[in-house]
Chains A and B, each alone.
Chain A
Amino acid sequence: MAAKILQNQIRRLRFEHKEMTQQELADKIGVTRQTVNAIELAKYSPSLEVAFQIADVFGVPLDEVFQYGNSTRRRA
């Protein structure tokens, strides 16, 4: 059975928002660039607060940014 992981669309959303850099997103939500990178690569699951902040920056609902689904990729 494939493990479920928290997937996200942050990379796509960044590029749809004037090719926003990881650093720019990090500055807007008050975390480091490394943390945005870890979230984007699904290596770190953010807190609800940070998840809502990311959705707020892109002006989309939370479930458009994060999905909980099956993946063959092993979570670190």
Chain B
Amino acid sequence: MSFREKSAWITFITVLIFTVLWFTHVWRVEFLHARDENPMIWFFGTLAALIALEIALHIAVAVQSPREARTPKDERERMIDMKASRVAFYVLLIGTFASIGTLHIPRANRLVMAQCLMGSILFALLSRFGTQIALHRRDA
């Protein structure tokens, strides 16, 4: 498995963990009416912890294959990035329009729309790194 593929796996799993934690938190607060005294601390704390985890995993992978880590992306890898970004763009576009659509749902407020936008961003990121992994696997 190439360094780029490992990197995509690391980011995909990190974003997936954040997505699961985020939606579990939203579910508890919105539907189970759990107390949420300081959501910003929870949000940025979780985000910082996962960024630290991602950096640590990237360093570990780079130490294993330092030569590959130093090599700049070649034309195939740049093409994979572009294809993955295109897929993510459409996911984000659909998610954004769906979020705007929540304004027409009775009892939905701006918070619901913000959660939907957050979900769209997370799913766009997951589709981007998921597509990268799939394209790397296809060429392997």
Which A residues lie at the B interface, using CB under 8 A? Answer: 30-35, 37-38, 43-44, 46-47, 50, 76
Chief secondary structure at chain A's binding surface: loop
Instruction: How many A-B residue pairs have C-beta atoms within 8 angstroms? Tell me.
Output: 38
Q: Measured between C-beta atoms, what is the minimum distance from A40 to chain B in Å?
A: 11
Provide a sorted-by-A list of 6 A–B residue pairs whose CB atoms are within 8 angstroms. Answer: A31-B74, A31-B76, A34-B139, A34-B140, A37-B139, A46-B76
Contact at A44–B74, with CB atoms within 8 Å? no
Q: Which of A33, A34, A38 has the most CB of B within 10 A?
A: A34
The B contact surface, by secondary structure, is: helix
Is the Cβ of A34 less than 8 Å from the Cβ of B2? Answer: yes
B75 to A46, Cβ gap below 8 A? yes
B1-44 interface mask toward A, CB cutoff 8 Å, 1 = contact, 0 = none?
A: 01010000000000000000000000000000000000000000
